[in-house]
Amino acid sequence: MIHKKSIGIFDSGYGGLTVFKAIANKLPDYNYIYLGDNARAPYGDHSYETVYQYTLECVEWLFEQGCPLVILACNTASAKALRTIQQKVLPVKYPHHRVLGVIRPTAEVIGNYTASGKIGVMGTRGTINSESYPIEIHKFFPELDVVQQSCPMWVPLIENNEHLQEGADYFVQEYMDQLLEKSPDIDAILLACTHYPLLIPKISKLLPEGFKLIAQGDIVADSLSLYLVNHPEIEELLNKDGEKQFFTSGDHLVFDKNASIFFDKEVMSQQINLKI
Ligand code: DGL
């Protein structure tokens, strides 16, 4: 069977759908396959080795479905697995495939959002402890002060659809306070986890006027659009029927119910089995 060539989009669970939504708006003609590894999410506290193994397995599955290009729409996977996949796996096993992450495109533009030169980065423990953001941001904006805050309770709240309940206020306030205590001069915050845009209604209530809250969807969509222009050898492989397919390693009925909240549209997924 000849597979149509699609762009693969991967996340540990639902968060990548906030990025996929922006990509599908910007580039509606391409075919896409989304894979959420819901059975093994969240990835935030897993070791490097585990995140790498899980991510590689999902990327290889997307390659098998006919995706020559895969976007890791997950900061944790981008921080802990992308480099090894790009440097050790692709050249040896898949020289014609490409895998891109969300950290570098964000780092390339993030300095443009702050006037004070101090930016907050909020993410999972895995992303924050990897130091990937300060390292990548300083390549493009060496003077920028990057103040990090891990928010380990936010993904579980969101994955369990509790993020808009009153009970979530405590954890939103707690991590915001911790961040702003470290540096009161921050004037922009990057939501460096693709789940966090769902908390924007609660986070924005706590921010002083003029503060910038940055989600990654549009940044990644712009960067992908430019990548396709600059890489005709990949772009020419891709079919353009505007088809979107969704797969999950978890329960597909649960996925469909929750995914529509992240994607803002009805989603019908299929369940796949990955090694657990
Ligand atoms: N949405 C993910 C991220 O951007 C991951 C969350 C998780 O699985 O912990 O980091």
**Dist. CA 120–CA 130, nearest whole Å:** 16
192, 241: one domain = no
Condensed to tens digits (0 to 9), the pLDDT of residues 220-234 reads 999 999 999 999 999
Distance 2 CA to ligand 1 centre (A): 33
Share of the chain above pLDDT 70, in %: 99
Which residue of 9, 10, 12 sits with most ligand 1 atoms within 8 Å of its CB, as the best mutation to test the pocket?
12
Cis peptide before 42 (omega within 30 of 0): yes
Q: Is residue 86 located within the same domain as residue 108?
A: no
In a domain, 140, yes or no: yes
Task: Determine, yes or no, domain membership for 64.
Answer: yes
* Beta strand spans in the chain (E): 7-11, 32-36, 69-72, 98-100, 118-123, 145-150, 188-191, 212-214, 244-248, 269-271
- Residue 157 sits in a domain whose CATH number is 3.40.50.1860
Look at residue 36 in the predicted model and tell me its pLDDT.
97
Answer yes or no: is pLDDT of 4 > 90.
Answer: no
Interval 19-24 mean pLDDT: 98
Query: What does the DSSP assignment read for 222-241?
Result: HHHHHHHHH-HHHHTT---S
Q: What is the pLDDT of residues 195-204, one digit of tens each?
A: 999 999 999 9
In this prediction the pTM is 0.95
| Residue at a domain's end among 171, 199, 215 | 215
Answer whether residue 47 is part of any domain.
yes
- What distance in angstroms lies between residue 43's CA and the mean position of ligand 1's atoms? 6
Total domains in the chain come to: 2
Q: Where does the pLDDT of residue 160 fall: very low under 50, low under 70, confident under 90, or very high at 90 and above?
A: confident
133-158 confidence digits (pLDDT tens): 999 999 999 999 999 999 999 999 99
pLDDT at residue 1 is higher than 60: no
Side-chain-side CA neighbours of residue 184 (13 Å): 1
123 forms beta bridges with 150
Query: What pLDDT, on a 0 to 100 scale, did the predictor assign at position 276?
Result: 60
Is pLDDT at 274 greater than 90 in this prediction? Answer: no
pLDDT value for 257: 94
Exposure letters 196-227 (e unless 16+ CB within 10 A, then b) = bbbbeebbeeebeeeeebbbbbebbbebbeeb
Answer whether residue 2 is part of any domain.
no
Find the domain containing 225 and state its range: 7-101+218-271
